[in-house]
Structure 1
């Protein structure tokens, strides 16, 4: 890199005043004209074989080095506040990470401090010190209690030291990893350790390099023109590649190379948020002076460019299919997304552990009572009653000394080995659970994972299971099956779910299953199972030019509106199986997505082999709150008009549509698709004039820098008054053995709740297909159509409750099912998110109207349900049902709030990454493994741990009460010992500890096949083997 040798360092450190002034200058800066920033100019013919022009890498490096100075602002300013928070005004952080708990010199004091903060350990430590006081010591001042205590502490210390040693090694390996960093002194890129990287450094990364810190990508060099691919598997578990755009490179298409250094020399960066673990959101801005060669309608040619997540590469990501990238460090060390996401979540505690903690308090109270009784009797016996005529008083009472003597003698009524025994047993149970071959998923080569072994026995008394549908009950492998375009429905046959639902409802079904037939001229490709020759005929004009045009634009929409990428093998890589199916369908019908560049997408037409380039002007991303996605495009080969392409849920897009003639027919087709269990998406668009778009984009760019709320409002305004193009129908098949699994869980007495974002008809028919719903059930529907207002909703729920309570038998009430939609849930659940939300408010009484009805039903189905609503429903049951024990199972990021909220969270390693697995307590590869996990291992572990705790308390109480009885009956209340001292110490530690541990690990009261064949045993066993009453 000799071309950088002559570059001088322009890096500066701004003090707080300068940083704040820079921020205000950024906010007050004039905004750019949309002519330059809103869209690329289409002024020359497009050669599809050539990538968009890019700047030579050497000039990018030289220019970027001059911009490094601006990143020093990152530690000194926040673009949200006039007075920056203290967290932003501090010395630069180190990029070194430390996940270990101890150092070589702090291990002993810190470990002992943490150990004796536990009440049980502190209690036995105190008993040991009391034994050293001869007047009250039954051991003649010898602290024999320290022997078993030291053994227990030593075992814990060895495990802690080994675990922390491995953390140290991993940290050192990570911190000493090398990367290329630009040295302003030598003018070249040199290797540097990750731990030495600081904010503002310019890094060069190559293909397959791991990103060492959170970067803003400023330039790239690779097969992807003006862009790079990154893999985020280490952050979110997703294996599909993601495209990132260089922040500055796209601005230089028409700028002379000598002017670029002048542009970057005046850059100023500001970020709009402190470090957060959210890898999908980032806002900031760069403020720069553009040369006169660009048309910028602002004084002094100043422009403000927004920084979004599309310009970032987070620590832990891997650069893929890209020769080189250059990036400037924005966050380091603990401020990076990766380290922010490693913050420890609140630990879950099993019900038995909670009861055990309460029993310790009772045992202490019992011990105090015994000591008071013993000391009182001893004092009475040993204090002589002197005659009054002697005129002398009795000697001082020995009550206090006797009390502590009895306390030391019977201290072992609290089992010193209980916590160690429970920990050892649960770890061994987890070991055998993970090696159960009947829960091994051969398709993914994945065994069952016990990620939180503290909850092993909690699986044994679950009362309610909350399950996602897509990817949990179904495979999450989507096939394009049907569509309706401009009021005409295409696609023959029905789905497996549709046939199963029809059989369950005893309704006639004359449709035949679709085979993978199509036009003889069109090859069959993955993710498409379509059969209907009429579509090909209409595409050729059989139903008139308007329908042919609508079909062409419908599939062009599918080819443009997505986030799918092409990997090195030219295969589609998608984060969503739905998008993969839609893009595959577009290709199947001759509208193939063939290339994506930052700012443009190329679609190839099979009809004549030509390609058409569309400029990608803006993307309004899909979120669980928006339930839709839109892209704004402009064809370079057509007029200058701009087109907005939207797709999303019918509940969201339907109110945004124009009143076209084919809307009602499309509604009917959508309902038909849903009754077959197909997942539906509404496809719509609208055309706007170029000047209207430029006015919108000017305001949109400003909002991106300063206001997330304004961004959402502008997106809503643009996604209105849309023209309906059609609806897609995508099949998602049931996983293997789902009906049998749900039937087993239902027979075990567990309430089943299915929470999905699909339409009501889709959810209901999937319920029939998997035997969750039957014709014998009374099915109650609660939605926005039947109950449009809060008052009518509450009145309807009260009627349902009275009807269920008034049933002649409890059997009838258990054969009821309720279906409720997201709109109704929004009326009922008024509070904020979950209790972990800082703005959380308690559940409204409206929700209790629904809860009391739901608890009387065997099945609850919630459709059009958002992630936050899923979590609120789980919490609703937990908070208001004292005996409820909830389990939530899901496979995607939208299930994480529900999984984290439930008493037990189970993640499925599905098609949408490992977010659910990473947040779960247990992980499985298929839904049907849940039955064995709960009915077999859950029941076994609950029985074993309950017996372990009961036996441990029993043996200690029997041992201490026998000594107490001897002291009262045969030793004149003196506290004389019946057992030798070493027998006392060995009783808990050696003689009685190992047998019960072996029992609690290996015992099987019934074989696994019997537990699966008779799920009713789970309900019987789950009736509290160990609780306060049993104690």
Structure 2
């Protein structure tokens, strides 16, 4: 629904109307206050709210229902504490953990809300923009807590001061950036993952009452924000001039100005209110299945009881008077509920809390791994999610960004092409005093052309780089410091600066440069910002001579489309772009034109009309931009180098050997991406690269065969040989045409690939019933999934997410996406697991990720070591948790056959209460925390073993049923060995009774379970030994406390087995029975392990050859030899609209810089890993 948000600057009377006294001292606010509250509870609400949350869990609610059933005497078959005690312990443990977490949140809230901010208190409202020029002397000042800040307060934000504000910045006085007109900035939490800013240019006529109103229709508020000022005695009009919209992190540091003044317009922050819960591996349906199984068993027991009663009555008719009081059906109904209570202990009550603890500790292991610690940034690995560790061991597809993820995202201006001539590095020095010593680019011919200042194209080329950007500048210690929205922007402006065209300063209306020693000021008429659709940015300027010029830079695809007919040097520039791409350089095209005054005036009217639209403003502005950005003159192209990160080739090599497919999704041009693929070992020289024509041909056969549902006739081995040598390279435009095509003719299948086309034929009625769009999607995913590597070039952030979504939909595999910038956020959120790289483009990817790493090379250890271990631990924990439960509790069913199906429990109540939470919890827990089948070094040496998790071999439905059958068999042995052994000695003259029989079965069950778990533990530590031995110690201790005569005299209905343990376990005969039971239970497991060891062959370390291959020089060579018919560009989509996070930058989540000098790092090693990468010569 539509809404309007209105705030007025320093108008306390206006905002007072929204505070109405409703009842006593309670105030009703239209707008929420600014206090941050991430905590859930307080002293009064903790207990009810926490219990409410905990009983939302299916298992807890089920046990509460069973405990309520126990209060009915007719069906109560267990002591009241048998279920209440374990449930109470679990609720207390979970509540204590929630309380500790909430206390930490309270502390964080108090710290944030307690921060002070300076409020300007004037006696008048801020009614004129002329007041902004002297705002520093406006009224008095008062320091207030951040939580007391309200809408309309004038707030001063000093430079370098950490703030948590959402402010409309009014003006920012600064020596380096003199802005005489007020500049506005919107700062909203980056819940969308993108960072922008808003700097409106305001007309001097707007000088009445200053306020702000936001209006929205239908769409999400944060996605479609329409900004306008409400002026007194004037209608709501939008901001006049160019808009840069900004979604910023809530925690901000003022970077490029000394101070700023603004007022809040959104008082409730949304970033800190977003949280997610634990996604449990065994969900609601699993417990429903167990519950239905208990219902079926209880029903069968009740039916059996009914038949037994009928048979008994027919044989003992003299007891008919006793049975006349109740019917058989009524008795069977009560027995049904009695068994429901008795068998409820089979439901894994402690599974939730144990799962959470295992996930948490395994996440801590990731955080504590020093091999994934990056000293230069003082950044360890960070497991931001604690519920996905086991899925790290089941990844089949990795979707990776290129820039900043595979590469360092440290851009260096390498080469350029000006007026058809290519210039590159030579060994000469600079004469310019502003030159940046970090840049390495020397060419005597270029230096001569610049210094002579005779070639107009050369002059315009460097002038464009100095003017067409969104870089902010400030002066530190006499040096200019640039802060750019992307590393590309900074590299280009730095290059222009080194060649004598220095960007000095900017205001809202002007840009000042120093060109070969002459200072020039240009009037900024319009800025046409970059976005992922336009793929370019332009500035319209009036130079000091009065000439209006348009400067444009962008992707070569869009620049060439907008050149004037017969533009000279176009062919030479294309050849230069091909050469740059073969060297894996990132390219960008530059163009300009002169604009007549009359043309500008007419265009400016349309530009103004588009800028004042409240609906579809962005589309209208883009249309106006298109009118201006045409008939351009090509100036040249730039080439920027972005080196690979350390360890990337070996990491991708290991991942591929682990049967993990790596897809690179990048905004770069095809040639650049392909050559990067060769450099990082994603592609190899013997691979056949499939491109658009071949893909169209193969997919055409797929579509034509929709009416022919024959199975593929091709043989499997041949396909496997072909698959390992195939790679797919597609572009974003190709994906749009392919997935959105309406059935136009495509090239026929080439005979060369007919085998693959036959393999891709649909294989079932379901494929025939799919709509054309689904068939196209399935065909593309089927083809891509059968290739060893896939590279998608020139894809937008939305297309990245679409590709991940299609693979998840049609392959049904676990996917991982890794990236470092805001353009990767959609992809990271779409994948099952998102990994953020803390790089040059900010923290947006990290904020939206499940795991944060400093380098791509750490991904190998995250997956092949921690992922594999976590999957192994979780799988073995689940298997033996269910095994131990069924091994002991299924005895209740066998005992029912000898107790007349009366729902009489066999075990003592305390054994049932303590079995899962004390007696057997620690051995299984140690397995879930510490188990390893091989060391971390072996995991990296033999990545082929990672496929066990991909196939889900360690825990699936088959493994679950095997564990159930194993536990059932163990329970049969425990019960019947004791039963048969007691046949000869039970009776009046025997030594065994019901209690001794129960103790014997319970002891046999416990020792058998502990022995089985001990045999399955492969990695023994001191904690593992303590965990296993503590189970026996706790059993003996608790048996002594619950079965002594003193306790029996105090509460005979609670402690019903006085001296039973002592009487039974002191008899040698019973001890021999227990020993025999344990031996019978363990012998089959030992036999199976021995058989598997014999048939499995040598150890993994001997069966596989050493996969460590010495990496050749990581030199970015030109592997891509073909000439492109269609040009593509590598203009980075990581570039953001406007000034990005240059004024306010999220810095609170960044790690602190370590004090003191860092130890010298060996750059030939992947940081903290053992994989060596040979340096390029």
Provide TM-score, normalisation by structure 2.
Answer: 0.70
Maintained 8 Å contact 2:190/2:271: no
In structure 2, do the counterparts of structure 1 residues 311 and 220 end up closer, same or farther at CA, with 3 Å as the change threshold?
A: farther
Counterpart selection for 1:539 from 450, 458, 462: 450
> What does residue 652 of structure 1 align with?
558
In structure 2, do the counterparts of structure 1 residues 457 and 311 end up closer, same or farther at CA, with 3 Å as the change threshold?
A: closer
Maintained 8 Å contact 1:120/1:416: yes
> What does residue 510 of structure 2 align with?
600
Secondary structure of 2:78's aligned partner? coil
- My pick for the range that moved more, 845-854 or 175-184, is 175-184
- My pick for the range that moved more, 938-947 or 394-403, is 394-403
Q: Deviations over 1:724-779 (max 9, x none)?
A: 11111111001111111111110111111111110010011111111111122121
Q: How many correspondences in the alignment?
A: 887
In structure 2, do the counterparts of structure 1 residues 429 and 601 end up closer, same or farther at CA, with 3 Å as the change threshold?
A: same
User: Which has the bigger relative contact order, CA under 8 A and spacing at least 6?
Assistant: 2
> What does residue 1002 of structure 1 align with?
930
Secondary structure of 2:169's aligned partner? strand
Matched, 1:622 2:530: yes
Q: Deviations over 1:255-297 (max 9, x none)?
A: xxxxx9xx6335564334489999898542336699xxxxxxx
Matched, 1:154 2:92: yes
> What does residue 755 of structure 1 align with?
665
Counterpart selection for 1:225 from 178, 185, 199: 178
> What does residue 265 of structure 1 align with?
208
How far apart, in 2, do the equivalents of 1:411 and 1:69 lie? 64
Secondary structure of 1:1018's aligned partner? helix
How far apart, in 1, do the equivalents of 2:404 and 2:951 lie? 32
Matched, 1:851 2:778: no
Counterpart selection for 2:305 from 341, 353, 378: 378
Structure 1 or 2, whichever has the larger Rg, is 2
Secondary structure of 2:959's aligned partner? coil
> What does residue 104 of structure 1 align with?
43
Counterpart selection for 1:881 from 811, 824, 837: 811
Matched, 1:442 2:349: no
How far apart, in 2, do the equivalents of 1:67 and 1:568 lie? 37
> What does residue 289 of structure 2 align with?
362
> What does residue 319 of structure 1 align with?
254
Matched, 1:329 2:264: yes
Provide TM-score, normalisation by structure 1.
Answer: 0.79
Maintained 8 Å contact 1:136/1:404: yes
> What does residue 643 of structure 1 align with?
549
How far apart, in 2, do the equivalents of 1:275 and 1:824 lie? 32
Maintained 8 Å contact 1:630/1:647: yes
> What does residue 461 of structure 1 align with?
394
How far apart are residue 966 of structure 1 and its match? 1.7
How far apart are residue 123 of structure 1 and its match? 0.8
How far apart are residue 321 of structure 1 and its match? 5.4
How far apart, in 2, do the equivalents of 1:931 and 1:313 lie? 32
> What does residue 32 of structure 1 align with?
none
Task: Point out where structure 2 has 5 or more consecutive residues left out of the alignment.
Answer: 20-27, 125-138, 706-710, 742-770, 961-1177
Maintained 8 Å contact 1:593/1:604: yes
> What does residue 201 of structure 1 align with?
153
How far apart are residue 485 of structure 1 and its match? 1.0
How far apart, in 1, do the equivalents of 2:474 and 2:772 lie? 48
How far apart are residue 624 of structure 1 and its match? 1.9
Secondary structure of 1:136's aligned partner? coil
Maintained 8 Å contact 2:156/2:261: yes
Secondary structure of 1:164's aligned partner? helix
> What does residue 868 of structure 1 align with?
798
How far apart, in 2, do the equivalents of 1:746 and 1:672 lie? 30
- My pick for the range that moved more, 431-440 or 684-693, is 684-693
In structure 2, do the counterparts of structure 1 residues 373 and 268 end up closer, same or farther at CA, with 3 Å as the change threshold?
A: closer
> What does residue 484 of structure 1 align with?
417
How far apart, in 2, do the equivalents of 1:195 and 1:589 lie? 50
In structure 2, do the counterparts of structure 1 residues 830 and 120 end up closer, same or farther at CA, with 3 Å as the change threshold?
A: farther
Maintained 8 Å contact 1:523/1:588: yes
- My pick for the range that moved more, 971-980 or 890-899, is 971-980
Secondary structure of 1:936's aligned partner? helix
Secondary structure of 2:488's aligned partner? helix
> What does residue 1078 of structure 2 align with?
none
Aligned CA RMSD, in angstroms, stands at 3.9
Maintained 8 Å contact 1:215/1:312: no
> What does residue 340 of structure 1 align with?
270
How far apart are residue 93 of structure 1 and its match? 2.6
Q: Deviations over 1:944-988 (max 9, x none)?
A: 0001111111111122212211221x3232232221110111110
Matches within 5 A, 1:664-743: 664-706=571-613, 707-743=617-653
> What does residue 907 of structure 1 align with?
836
Counterpart selection for 1:977 from 887, 905, 910: 905
> What does residue 39 of structure 1 align with?
none
Matched, 1:174 2:112: yes
> What does residue 528 of structure 1 align with?
439
Matched, 1:943 2:895: no
Secondary structure of 1:566's aligned partner? strand
> What does residue 352 of structure 2 align with?
419
Maintained 8 Å contact 2:669/2:794: yes
Maintained 8 Å contact 2:648/2:680: yes
How far apart are residue 917 of structure 1 and its match? 0.8
Maintained 8 Å contact 1:756/1:865: yes
- My pick for the range that moved more, 586-595 or 862-871, is 586-595
How far apart, in 1, do the equivalents of 2:238 and 2:667 lie? 42
Counterpart selection for 2:700 from 795, 798, 816: 795
Counterpart selection for 2:404 from 471, 481, 484: 471
> What does residue 1013 of structure 1 align with?
941
> What does residue 662 of structure 1 align with?
569
> What does residue 403 of structure 1 align with?
336
How far apart, in 1, do the equivalents of 2:879 and 2:66 lie? 24
How far apart are residue 521 of structure 1 and its match? 7.1
How far apart are residue 368 of structure 1 and its match? 1.3
How far apart are residue 580 of structure 1 and its match? 1.1
How far apart, in 2, do the equivalents of 1:489 and 1:124 lie? 77
Secondary structure of 1:1004's aligned partner? coil
In structure 2, do the counterparts of structure 1 residues 277 and 934 end up closer, same or farther at CA, with 3 Å as the change threshold?
A: farther
Secondary structure of 1:401's aligned partner? helix
In structure 2, do the counterparts of structure 1 residues 999 and 402 end up closer, same or farther at CA, with 3 Å as the change threshold?
A: same
> What does residue 581 of structure 1 align with?
491
> What does residue 959 of structure 1 align with?
888
Secondary structure of 2:97's aligned partner? helix
Maintained 8 Å contact 2:240/2:611: no
Maintained 8 Å contact 1:281/1:309: no
Maintained 8 Å contact 2:463/2:496: yes
In structure 2, do the counterparts of structure 1 residues 604 and 520 end up closer, same or farther at CA, with 3 Å as the change threshold?
A: closer
> What does residue 506 of structure 1 align with?
none
> What does residue 989 of structure 1 align with?
917
Counterpart selection for 2:52 from 113, 118, 127: 113
How far apart, in 1, do the equivalents of 2:50 and 2:725 lie? 55
How far apart are residue 310 of structure 1 and its match? 6.7
Counterpart selection for 2:166 from 214, 228, 245: 214
Maintained 8 Å contact 1:759/1:863: yes
Secondary structure of 1:180's aligned partner? strand
- My pick for the range that moved more, 593-602 or 118-127, is 593-602
